[in-house]
Structure 1
Amino acid sequence: MAILKIIGILLEVVLLFNLLIVVHELGHFFAAKWRGLVIEGFGIWFGKPLWQKKINGVNYSLGCIPAGGFVKLPQLMDSAIEGDSEYAGKELPRLKPLDKIIVAFAGPLFSFGLACVFAVLVWQIGRPVSEGERTTQIGYVLPGSPAEKAGLQAGDSIKTIDGTPITRWGGQSAGSVTWRIAGGEEPTAKLEIQRGTETKTLEVTPEVEATKWYQRRGLRAIGIAGTSHPMVAKTEPGSAAAKAGFLPNDVLVRVGGEPIYFDSSISSWAKRHPGQPIVITVERGAKRADGTMPTVDLTFEPRGILVAEVFPRSPASEAGLLAKDRILAVDDQPVAFGENFIRHIHGHLGKPVALTIERGTETKTLIVTPEIPIEGGGDKPKPSIGIQLDRADGLVFDLRGKMSPVFPSPYEQIAEATGMIIETMKKLSPTSKSGIGVQHMGGPVMMMRVYYLLFESPEGWRLVLWFSVVINVNLAIMNMLPIPPLDGSHITLALIEMIRGRAPGARTQKMVEYVQIAGTFLVIGFMLFVTAFDVQDVFGGKKPTLRFPPRTPATQAPG
């Protein structure tokens, strides 16, 4: 069944990708029909035809490579791109500049029209939006990050960044937290925050994660995530979560009476209140008539953390730790959450640490000394014992978090998509000092990857329709750029011809053809460039590993 699901999703992705391209080409086709141009052929897909038929002088075909479509217009200068033409060497009527403009403009116009159709559908059925996307409140601050060093805390609400009002967390809008940080042009970022009744401004120095030469360059970040109340996806049978009474779709809102901003809020509270019962308040059920949510208090008693993997020749391996061991305590302090365990390890570089573990029915103590890995720890490696952890409490969260539908008008959706493109172009301009570059753009591989991930989610088509609005607006605007062989270059040349009042001479025509060829190679080169990074993103990820320097085997204490 899993294979059939994957095949089904892939078919949906291919179908939608082809729809976007074919609709664009239909714009050129219908405009050419209207203006009386010679149309040699219209094809869906490329390669050797599986079917073709000539109707009223137009060769219609269905190819074998599902990669969009094309229309052959021999009266336009780039007609030879699609192979040999039956009109080669024949004298065809010269097009009026207005006809060229109309035919070239029709493609982007149809893409824009398709975006409007999708936008109307989204307006009617809604677009699911996660809490983490809409919030302006900090939910998590990474320990040791620039944000923590600057004094930012979970629960702080961000009002402005570098003077720009903040309206959301994610996305490429001017009011997005991630976009303002990533695209900042100064060494520091000034964040105006609201903490309780107090407003203050903090200055943060973003960092850029080091990457390999063949990977996309890292973007500026300060180590924060937006507030997102954890939502239960499921509980493991017989686990601490199941015994506590957690149910799917429960939303965790408080722990020990304190607000939960992120799933790490639970471990943070447990660290500050050792030995106390962990009472978690969850929202469960439908909203009441007064708009409030019914809540239930659950007593949560997680017991230890599970070891998912032990890296070879690591301190943990030398100490005798094994996968599926349950770590109950570290230096006689009970541990129930991985975050607290990791903090303890980070603070004990070169110092022996006693781990109380449970292996089957046996309990024993192992002595392990944290070290700095020489490979696999990132550009700023921290002390580690060389293990990966798994949850032992049986609580599995929905990674999407709490989703709520919004119903933006078509105008709002088109305006948002246009704003995203404008923001991107600003950051790509030669005058921009941000770290965002051409390599951060995506091509068809990235687009299809995003479509696949959206189709894979339970909200599938509703998310896909919204993303299609963005993609079609992007296609419409980008194709209007005056870069050969894009539609905008045909429009620009036709406008010049219209203003001059005469067709270009043979010498000028030859020069234009050379420019068209050069532009075509430029666009192909750009697509290959971004596609290389897209492929690296999809297939280049390696299984995380850590490598440590040679060491003396740790000793095992009697247990």
Structure 2
Amino acid sequence: MDTLLSILTTTGIIIGVILLFNLMIFIHELGHFWAARWRGLHVDRFQIWFGKPWWKKEVNGVQWGIGWIPAGGFVSLPQLAPMESIEGKADLPEGLKPVKPLDKLIVAAAGPVFSFLLAVVFAVAVWIIGKPVAESVGTTIGYVQAGSPAEKAGLKPGDTILEIDGAPVTKWVGNMEGVTELVMMGERDTVDFLVQRPGVEKPLLIKSGYELPDKKWYERKAMRMVGIVKADPCVIGSVLPDSPAAKAGLKPGDKVKAVNGAPIMSVAAVREASKSGVPLEWTIERDGKEMSVQVTPVLPSNWKKGARDAQPIAGTLWASSFDRTQLEHPTPWQQVGVSLKWMGDTFQKIAAPKSDVGVEQLSGPVGIGSHLYRMFSSPDGWMMVLWFAVILNVNLAVLNILPLPVVDGGHVVLSLLEMIFKRPVGGVVLEYVQTGFVFVLMAFFLFVTFKDFGDLFGGGSKPSEELPPPVFRSADA
């Protein structure tokens, strides 16, 4: 029964992702379609996805269809510009009148406008319903990885980060302004931290190096890391049966204050101490009182020794602050503004010569679909999907209005040139340019899709190699 429920849940999520993608495509193309009908242009086809249609039906002189390449859609408008390299040859009726450049401009811009309006619709829904946000406020370091660039630079648990590379920070993650994002997207040779250290009157400027974890050639290049983890109260959420923690008498709600006398400010520090598998003295707080218990971490009975990430653990599940969420209600314009800022920051980092952010960090339909799948799979994930849909549609609107061949912005530019010079751009030259750019777009699409699959299946993270949920036997602890 559980297996059947899991299959149905997974199937439902996949269908939800596909429907959301196609809704975005449909609304965008519907803008072109309605504008074309309003301005009197001949509409040959309306198709979701590219390639030869596997389903088609003619209604009122328009062929409606679904292609076999899941990478967008189109409304075939032969009077707008030659697009046979993408849309195929159109069946043109005789006696088509020339189209005014203003009509072309309106039709070309209608798709991005409709995408933007759909983003606003989703944004209004988020404004009313709310967006779950993890409690990531606070910039105090809770753990510094041994041997990491941060440790070598002198960063310590308890340091509160005030600025990174001159930019003030008030949260650990979020809106491209948190500690995590500013480290990842840095452009300097070092990551410059301004920190307030307990017992030290003036803030300290600490220049840290960074590292780029190794990746397989088919995966995306890793982003900058320095080896720090946010300070977080180590509160036990649950205790696994027959685990060392259960044998030690630990209970949900217990707060770990120290291990072997060393203050603990992050779950990562507890996990690191547990790796050795030797007896540990935990100082915990329960009902306002401190007490000490001895815990000897062991390898769960269903984990194979030597497997990736398999190490002794105490058998506690933690009530991390990142698991505790609150609902925010950002206005539609705040959401659109954040989406535009993210796009601008991303393009700026891609163009920056010293940034480690490159074109390969961009995602195609597979990567975006995978991200949506993870959102749908989480508690209240549908609310996060609504918020993410705002970002996706703003991106779709902006990218399509860029003044590039093939996309809508290119048609807008052609219409403006026709208005200025009183004649359309030469058809043969234009078709060569359009066809060339089609190959560029397809190459980019294949590249990011290849990286998407590399992230899904690469790096030794195949499902068959993942550790199962830990199970303990009475003899283990």
Identify the TM-score tier after normalising by the shorter chain.
Answer: 0.7 to 0.9
Unpaired segments ≥5 residues, structure 2: 463-477
| Residue in structure 2 matched with residue 521 of structure 1 by the alignment | 439
Contact 2:280–2:295 (CA under 8 A) maintained in structure 1: no
Select the structure of larger CA radius of gyration. 1
- Quote the Cα distance in structure 2 between the aligned partners of 1:180 and 1:277: 34
| Residue in structure 1 matched with residue 295 of structure 2 by the alignment | 302
Contact 2:281–2:294 (CA under 8 A) maintained in structure 1: no
| 2:92 is the alignment partner of 1:87 | yes
- Quote the Cα distance in structure 1 between the aligned partners of 2:150 and 2:411: 49
Return closer, same or farther for 1:479/1:171 CA change in 2, 3 Å cut-off.
Answer: farther
Unpaired segments ≥5 residues, structure 1: 283-294, 312-322, 324-385, 545-559
- Quote the Cα distance in structure 1 between the aligned partners of 2:386 and 2:262: 38
- Quote the Cα distance in structure 2 between the aligned partners of 1:419 and 1:263: 33
Please state how far the C-alpha of 1:467 moved relative to its aligned partner: 1.1
| Residue in structure 2 matched with residue 212 of structure 1 by the alignment | 216
Please state how far the C-alpha of 1:275 moved relative to its aligned partner: 6.6
| Residue in structure 2 matched with residue 193 of structure 1 by the alignment | 195
| Residue in structure 2 matched with residue 155 of structure 1 by the alignment | 158
Contact 1:233–1:397 (CA under 8 A) maintained in structure 2: yes
Alignment deviations for residues 82-124 of structure 1 (CA, whole Å, 9 cap, x no partner): 2232217x45222222112111111111111111111111112
| 2:132 is the alignment partner of 1:128 | yes
Alignment of 1:62-81 (within 5 A): 69-80=73-84, 81=86
How many matched pairs? 447
Name the amino acid aligned to 1:192: L
Return closer, same or farther for 1:492/1:139 CA change in 2, 3 Å cut-off.
Answer: farther
SS at match of 2:327: strand
Return closer, same or farther for 1:389/1:519 CA change in 2, 3 Å cut-off.
Answer: same
- Quote the Cα distance in structure 2 between the aligned partners of 1:65 and 1:527: 11
The percent identity for this pair of structures is 40
| 2:378 is the alignment partner of 1:457 | yes
Contact 1:129–1:404 (CA under 8 A) maintained in structure 2: yes
| 2:332 is the alignment partner of 1:406 | no
Please state how far the C-alpha of 1:259 moved relative to its aligned partner: 7.7
TM-score normalised to structure 1 length: 0.72
Contact 2:144–2:228 (CA under 8 A) maintained in structure 1: yes
Q: Which has the higher helix share?
A: 2
- Aligned residue among 255, 275, 278 for 2:283: 278
| Residue in structure 2 matched with residue 420 of structure 1 by the alignment | 342
- Aligned residue among 215, 221, 228 for 1:224: 228
Name the amino acid aligned to 1:486: V
- Aligned residue among 170, 173, 190 for 1:170: 173
Alignment of 1:45-60 (within 5 A): 47-50=52-55, 52-55=57-60, 57-60=61-64
TM-score normalised to structure 2 length: 0.84
Please state how far the C-alpha of 1:267 moved relative to its aligned partner: 6.0
- Quote the Cα distance in structure 1 between the aligned partners of 2:345 and 2:399: 13
Name the amino acid aligned to 1:40: D
| Residue in structure 2 matched with residue 439 of structure 1 by the alignment | 360
- Quote the Cα distance in structure 1 between the aligned partners of 2:241 and 2:285: 19
Return closer, same or farther for 1:260/1:92 CA change in 2, 3 Å cut-off.
Answer: farther
- Aligned residue among 111, 114, 137 for 1:110: 114
| Residue in structure 2 matched with residue 338 of structure 1 by the alignment | none
Please state how far the C-alpha of 1:466 moved relative to its aligned partner: 1.1
Contact 2:142–2:266 (CA under 8 A) maintained in structure 1: yes
| 2:131 is the alignment partner of 1:138 | no
Deviation larger for 468-477 or 76-85: 76-85
Alignment deviations for residues 140-196 of structure 1 (CA, whole Å, 9 cap, x no partner): 2111101111111223221111211224333562x3323322222221121111223
Contact 2:239–2:251 (CA under 8 A) maintained in structure 1: yes
Contact 1:245–1:298 (CA under 8 A) maintained in structure 2: no
Contact 1:230–1:402 (CA under 8 A) maintained in structure 2: no
Return closer, same or farther for 1:300/1:475 CA change in 2, 3 Å cut-off.
Answer: farther
SS at match of 1:305: coil
- Quote the Cα distance in structure 2 between the aligned partners of 1:96 and 1:119: 35
Return closer, same or farther for 1:497/1:258 CA change in 2, 3 Å cut-off.
Answer: farther
- Quote the Cα distance in structure 2 between the aligned partners of 1:200 and 1:502: 64
Name the amino acid aligned to 2:178: S
Please state how far the C-alpha of 1:309 moved relative to its aligned partner: 2.7
- Quote the Cα distance in structure 2 between the aligned partners of 1:484 and 1:531: 22
| 2:396 is the alignment partner of 1:475 | yes
- Quote the Cα distance in structure 1 between the aligned partners of 2:281 and 2:233: 22
Please state how far the C-alpha of 1:525 moved relative to its aligned partner: 0.8
Name the amino acid aligned to 2:217: W
Name the amino acid aligned to 2:305: V
- Quote the Cα distance in structure 1 between the aligned partners of 2:429 and 2:30: 30
Contact 1:14–1:66 (CA under 8 A) maintained in structure 2: no
SS at match of 2:195: strand
Return closer, same or farther for 1:73/1:435 CA change in 2, 3 Å cut-off.
Answer: same
Name the amino acid aligned to 1:423: D
Name the amino acid aligned to 1:426: Q
Contact 2:232–2:320 (CA under 8 A) maintained in structure 1: no
SS at match of 2:295: coil
SS at match of 1:135: coil
Contact 1:183–1:220 (CA under 8 A) maintained in structure 2: yes
- Quote the Cα distance in structure 2 between the aligned partners of 1:259 and 1:33: 70
Name the amino acid aligned to 1:95: V
SS at match of 1:404: strand
Contact 1:147–1:224 (CA under 8 A) maintained in structure 2: yes
SS at match of 1:389: coil
- Aligned residue among 3, 6, 22 for 1:2: 6
Alignment deviations for residues 47-77 of structure 1 (CA, whole Å, 9 cap, x no partner): 545452422x223345677665432212121
- Quote the Cα distance in structure 2 between the aligned partners of 1:126 and 1:266: 34
Please state how far the C-alpha of 1:212 moved relative to its aligned partner: 3.3
Name the amino acid aligned to 1:447: I
Return closer, same or farther for 1:101/1:228 CA change in 2, 3 Å cut-off.
Answer: farther
| 2:181 is the alignment partner of 1:179 | yes
